[in-house]
Amino acid sequence: MSGSLQDLVIELAYIVAVTLFVLSLKWLSSPATARRGVQAGEVGMLIAILATLLNRGIVSYEWILIGLVVGALIGIPLGLVQMTAVPQRTALSHAFGAFATALVGTAEFYLRTPNISPFVMSALSIEIILGALTFTASLMAAGKLQEVLPQRPITYKGQNFVNLGILVLAILVAIYLVNNPGATGLFPLLIVIPMVFGVLLIVPIGGADMPTVISLLNSYAGLSAAAMGFVLKSKLLIVAGALDGSSGFILSVIMSRAMNRSFTNVLFGAFGQVQETATHAVAGTVRSATPEEAAAILEAANSVMIVPGYGMAVAQAQHKVREFYDALTKRGIDVKFAIHPVAGRMPGHMNVLLAEADVPYDRLIEMDDANSDFPQVDVALVIGANDVTNPAARHDKNSPIYGMPILEVDKARTVMVIKRGMSPGFAGIENELYYLDKTLMIFGDAKSVVGSLVRELTGGHEH
């Protein structure tokens, strides 16, 4: 293949890859087309990699082959994790991607110094700062999600001032290097300081904010890749990184709005810290019920709204929930699933789990539509969701979740809650829902309890 023809093939392949990336994002926005979106993204990435390997500038393929083998050996086991571990696996993916961009930036600096233009050095600095901080921040997020690190925020006086001071110091180092690219002795600080900042950025953030944090870190990783595209003069990297960065940022905005909170509040508000009110009793008494009693009420219902939460994910109860859905629909009961945007540990967590169990996607209802339906629902069944169903968000101005849009399950005629115990959620406050006269608590592991409900509804016959 001649050089000009080879270049043309590469450019056309990049255009096809970028088109598939755009279509992937478009299709991923709907459960009906999400599978197609994943496939489009995978094919686009494969085309991009193959086209890059055709580049005439590649001198040796040995290290590339070694990298592909090592990457596959790491990636395949990561892809085989349990569905409940997908959030922390996603955070690890962000960490690896960000670390790769930081390493490429480091190599480019030492290869080009001191003959680096101010523009390239600026892009390279952005690439390394974002890559380095995203690397350590993503590792911290994965550690919190895996519960090998404390999930509660760790705060101290003047913390925000210290964090911002460290970030400003990294920016000052970058500015100096832009004007003095030959100062190689100062360059390691451009890596170390952002890595320290990444750790300190996540320390004060609680588990309740992890979905937003993950999408924000995804945005940082994408922007880092876009900056790398300017350094390497790669149009594909610029476009793909910009798509990743902008989509992650938009998703973070949407999720922040779903919690009625700003970015600054997510990053600096220490949401998830145990609140003083968590120790105060909520007025009312808790009424519990057995699965047998709950099944009797469900049998008489015409409509049921299921509200899944992280408790369902921990218990891996999604397949039992599908059996429960089948048992109710066979009785002619209208069953829907109310999905809160930030339920679980990552964006779309509940959608992914229910899709894995083959729950019909048209039965998944978004928050606004679900809230308009709740007053007509006979039974709202909450499975492991806590803060996103707390009525205090509507009226208690002293509550840390005040103003956060919730699933208004308390407006249903009867509420049932499957929960292991009465411990508060990530916000550290008790849920007023549990003390309402219309609420019945069914204590136990979600998978076990839902299995018992299925047996009662099917006459002792589970799938």
Element (DSSP H or E) covering residue 417: strand 414-419
Sheet holding 303-308, edge to edge: 364-366, 334-339, 303-308, 379-383, 414-419, 439-443
d(CA 366, CA 231): 42
Residues 219/209/356/445 CA torsion (nearest 10 deg): 160
Assigned token pair, 158: 């003047």
| Alpha-carbon gap, residue 303 to 322, rounded angstroms | 16
Of 209, 244, 373, 387, the catalytic one is 387
Distance from C-alpha of 66 to C-alpha of 455, rounded to nearest angstrom? 53
Q: What size, in residues, is the chain?
A: 463
Task: Give whole-number Cα distances, 27 to 22, 24, 265, in Å.
Answer: 9, 5, 31
Task: Measure the CA angle with vertex 359, ends 355 and 418; round to 5°.
Answer: 100
Compute the Cα dihedral for 126, 127, 133, 134 and give only its sign. positive
DSSP 77-92: HHHTS-GGGHHHHHHH
Residues near 211 by beta carbon (within 8 Å), at least 6 away in sequence: 87, 255, 342, 344, 345, 346, 347, 349
Amino acid at 180: N
Q: Decide if 396 is catalytic.
A: no
273 phi and psi angles, rounded to 5 deg? -75, 145
CA distance 257 to 346: 15
Say how far apart CA 131 and CA 194 lie, in whole Å: 8
Residues in contact with 297: Cβ distance below 8 Å, sequence separation at least 6, in sequence order: 379, 414, 416, 440
- Both tokens of 434, joined, read 């549990």
d(CA 86, CA 338): 21
- Contact call for residues 125 and 174 (beta carbons, < 8 A): yes
Give bridge partners of residue 365 from the DSSP assignment: 338
Distance, in Å, from the CA atom of 35 to the CA atom of 28, rounded to the nearest integer, reads 7
Q: Which residue from 300, 318, 311 is spatially nearest to 343, judged by alpha carbons?
A: 311
Query: What residues are annotated to the active site?
Result: 387
